[in-house]
């Protein structure tokens, strides 16, 4: 057996590189990444073809578009698709969209301020959005008793909506009436919360 301090087996090098790629890798790129010679690379690929033969593994080595790719065995597609369906996050509820809109256009806001804007306790919805990494604590309101956390939207939220920044969203006054904006400001003012300028684009 090889000494652990020696260079890994050629097949191990190729396997590791293929494992982290979502697209096919050509022979020249594999040689460049692994430092293998043509002969070593061909030998490594032959070994991987045997190890990942369709009848022997749930992973197969495919030759695609002039390169090599590790992918799931088509014979296992049913189980893979079932897992994808079960693992897919549930769609956001209307309440979740309301909370995200509060954080986006009025935030950062405390949990209590979000609940006052919506007129209903929002703690459970906020907790779910934090778990999904769509909301995050961005500071604390030191003027309020207990210095409650302030909440804002995350980069993951921006990525999920296809936005590059909060300025990509339309101004809130193009979405709701002035009367509705005034009611929101009154609710926040009565709680001592200073909202972001709700008539402008998100900061």
Q: What is the pLDDT of residues 90-106, one digit of tens each?
A: 788 899 999 998 888 88
Query: What pLDDT does 199 receive?
Result: 42
Residue 4 has pLDDT above 60, yes or no: no
Do 71 and 112 sit in the same domain of this protein?
A: no
In terms of residue numbers, what domain contains 119? 94-190
The beta-strand segments (E) located in the chain are: 59-64, 67-72, 109-110, 135-140, 149-153
Report the CATH number at residue 39: 1.10.10.10
Residue 198 has pLDDT above 50, yes or no: no
Do 105 and 69 sit in the same domain of this protein?
A: no
Q: What is the mean pLDDT of the chain?
A: 84
Query: What pLDDT does 200 receive?
Result: 45
Residue 43 has pLDDT above 60, yes or no: yes
Q: What is the pLDDT of residues 179-193, one digit of tens each?
A: 877 777 777 676 655
| d(C-alpha 149, C-alpha 140), whole Å | 4
SS3 for 124?
Answer: helix
Q: What is the pTM of this model?
A: 0.50
Decide if 201 is inside a domain: no
Q: What is the pLDDT of residues 111-125, one digit of tens each?
A: 988 998 888 999 999
Do 98 and 73 sit in the same domain of this protein?
A: no
Higher-confidence residue of 179 and 69: namely 69
| d(C-alpha 38, C-alpha 42), whole Å | 6
| d(C-alpha 46, C-alpha 48), whole Å | 5
Q: Which residue has tokens 């935030």?
A: 107
- How many domains does one find in the chain? 2
| d(C-alpha 164, C-alpha 201), whole Å | 14
């Amino acid at each position: 057996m090889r000494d652990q301090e020696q260079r890994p087996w050629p097949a191990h090098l190729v396997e590791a590189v293929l494992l982290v790629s979502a697209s096919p890798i050509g022979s020249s790129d594999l040689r460049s990444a692994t430092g293998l010679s043509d002969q070593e690379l061909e030998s490594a690929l032959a070994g991987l073809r045997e190890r990942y033969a369709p009848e022997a593994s749930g992973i197969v080595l495919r030759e695609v578009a002039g390169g090599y790719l590790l992918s799931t065995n088509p014979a296992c597609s049913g189980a893979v698709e079932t897992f994808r369906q079960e693992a897919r996050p549930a769609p956001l509820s209307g309440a979740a969209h309301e909370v995200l809109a509060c954080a986006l256009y009025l935030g950062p806001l405390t949990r209590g301020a979000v609940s006052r804007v919506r007129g209903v306790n929002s703690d459970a919805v906020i907790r779910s959005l934090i778990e999904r990494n769509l909301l995050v604590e961005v500071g604390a309101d030191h003027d309020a008793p207990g210095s409650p956390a302030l909440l804002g939207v995350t980069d993951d939220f921006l990525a999920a909506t296809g936005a590059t920044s909060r300025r990509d969203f339309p101004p809130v006054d193009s979405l709701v009436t002035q009367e509705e904006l005034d009611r929101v400001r009154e609710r926040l003012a009565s709680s001592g919360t200073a909202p972001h300028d709700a008539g402008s684009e998100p900061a």
